[in-house]
Structure 1
Amino acid sequence: MDLKVSDSNLKWYPVYTQPRAEKKAYSALISKGIEAYLPLHRRLKQWSDRKKWVEEPLISSYLFVRIADHAQTEVLMTKGIARFIYFSGKITAMPDRQINELKLLMASALDMEVTEEDLQPGEKIKIKAGPLKGITGEIIAYRSQKQLLLRLENLGCSIIVNVAASLINRL
């Protein structure tokens, strides 16, 4: 299937995968020529007999595809893909800015966590220095520390990153 269209017609869509099928679904999409993004983070896992560093998806059962509308069926026909994410009855598209910010976060090697808690919005900020310079977010009180919350709209999750207060500007 020829999925080449102008960049202006391409949008990022979050897709839900079968349980623990994120990496296989990602590989299958790439082999079909579909642009996909699967944010992975390294984690030390403990088994009864050993410890090992493994790469796991940052957000369980999610990955992102950048396609034109007409390619949605091809994505759904990919092994490991369960469905697109819907919001208000329509397939959810994400702004390029959010994917770029997520890629920047992943490249920054900061300690981060993903939470599905419904965190309340707070003061809007923008990071003024460091590897996350230019990213906007919200300050929240979480586990009694001030942290940056980067909310991924329409996904039902948030990414929390520790950022020094000296590196932020109020908006």
Structure 2
Amino acid sequence: MNTATTKQWYALYTRPKWEKRVTETLEKKKLEVYCPMNRVPRQWGERKKALMEPLFQSLIFVYASESDQERIRETDGVINFIHWLNKPAIIRQEEIDTIRKFLNEYDFVSLEKASVNLNEKVRIINGPLMMWEGQIVQVRTNVVKIMLPSLGYALVAEIREEKPEKTVRPLAELNKRAV
């Protein structure tokens, strides 16, 4: 397969606060772009509201080939690709999927800069993240952390305790038990 036409995920630096604008511009150029959005609590006086903001400041992801890189760089608001060993860094599909799943599962996600040790792979065997593979970073009650090795970050979220569901039984069923 020709590397110039093979598509990969890349991370792009954008101008500060331009993540959404650059995402829209690249989508108009028919490129697949992912700008992870996170629910963030904000308070003005006594009024509280949850806003959607980019999870990564000045960072978006684009699924493109090497031949697309020049027209991506020319886009207004794009500073450059994140580089590793003098080449645009490739972000694994699994990490993009992990970010998407994590943001769908949890509200109010935060980021932590993390040291990366690629040797400690685990698979989660129960709970909402069952069958995800990743690295154990920290185990604490009601906190979930997932490593993103190629980005050097960990996604962190608090697990809300599940409220017990009320079960309503049909009146006929209750009458049968009374007899």
Report the TM range for the smaller structure's normalisation. Answer: 0.7 to 0.9
What's the CA shift for 1:105? 1.2
Per the normalisation by structure 1, the TM-score is 0.77
1:20 correspondence with 2:25: no
* Structure 1 residues 110 and 53: CA distance shift in structure 2, 3 A: closer
Deviation at 1:90, TM superposition (A): 1.4
Asked if 1:95 is matched to 2:96, the reply is no
Q: Which has the larger radius of gyration?
A: 2
Cα 1:53–1:111 change in 2 (3 A) is closer
Aligned to 1:85: 82
Partner of 1:156: 152
Q: Which runs of 5+ in 2 are unaligned?
A: 160-179
How many corresponding residue pairs? 157
Large movers: runs of 4+ above 6 Å: 119-122
Q: 1:161 to 1:52 in 2, by over 3 A?
A: closer
Aligned-residue Cα RMSD (Å) equals 2.9
The Cα offsets for residues 2-57 of structure 1, whole Å up to 9 and x where unpaired, read as: xxx9xx81100011111111111111111111110011011111235743321111
Structure-2 change in CA distance of 1:71 and 1:30 (3 Å): same
For the pair 1:36 / 2:51, whether they are aligned, the reply is no
Q: 1:117 to 1:124 in 2, by over 3 A?
A: closer
Residues 79-158 of structure 1: matches in 2 within 5 Å? 79-109=76-106, 112-118=109-115, 124-141=121-138, 148-158=144-154
TM-score by length of structure 2 reads: 0.74
CA distance in 1, matches of 2:119, 2:143: 11
